[in-house]
Amino acid sequence: MASEKLKDLLNKSIARELQVVVQYMWQHVLWSGVKGYAVKDQIKSIAVTEMKHAEAIAERLNYLGGIPTTKPEPIFVGESLKEMLAQDQKDERVAIKLYNEVIAVAKAENDEATYKLFQGILSDEEDHDDFFTTALEEV
């Protein structure tokens, strides 16, 4: 069915999604001040979206015969709003690169469902990158 390479990429994707779910939710909780208040609800919304991504990827991996990881990539909350946003922007860009790779491998393996799933997720990640980039301009 799916190659080990594709299954490994899906597990890397899950680990990344789990990382940012916790990271963004804790940032939402810990942010303070006027600038933090202005973005914290959007960060919570992004965290929920990332949780849905993790679930969808895990379901796909399970269908393909893989075992979804429960271990996130390293979580970085940060100490200042600027530090948090810079890390979040970096993490979204890592995801964009990874998800483009997943899309290419899925396409090469004629896995239309994984291909379509990641096209949608990639679009969300690009929106998240845009949000963090814009927010960084304001701090």
91, 18 Cβ separation under 8 angstroms: no
CATH number among 3.30.750.24, 1.20.58.340, 1.20.1260.10, 1.10.760.10, domain 4-137: 1.20.1260.10
What does the pLDDT look like over 46-95, one tens digit per residue? 999 999 999 999 999 999 999 999 999 999 999 888 999 999 999 999 99
CA–CA separation, 32 and 73 (whole Å): 25
4, 51 Cβ separation under 8 angstroms: no
50 is in an annotated binding site: yes
53 is in an annotated binding site: yes
92 is in an annotated binding site: yes
Annotated domain spans of the chain: 4-137
Average pLDDT value for residue range 1-8: 94
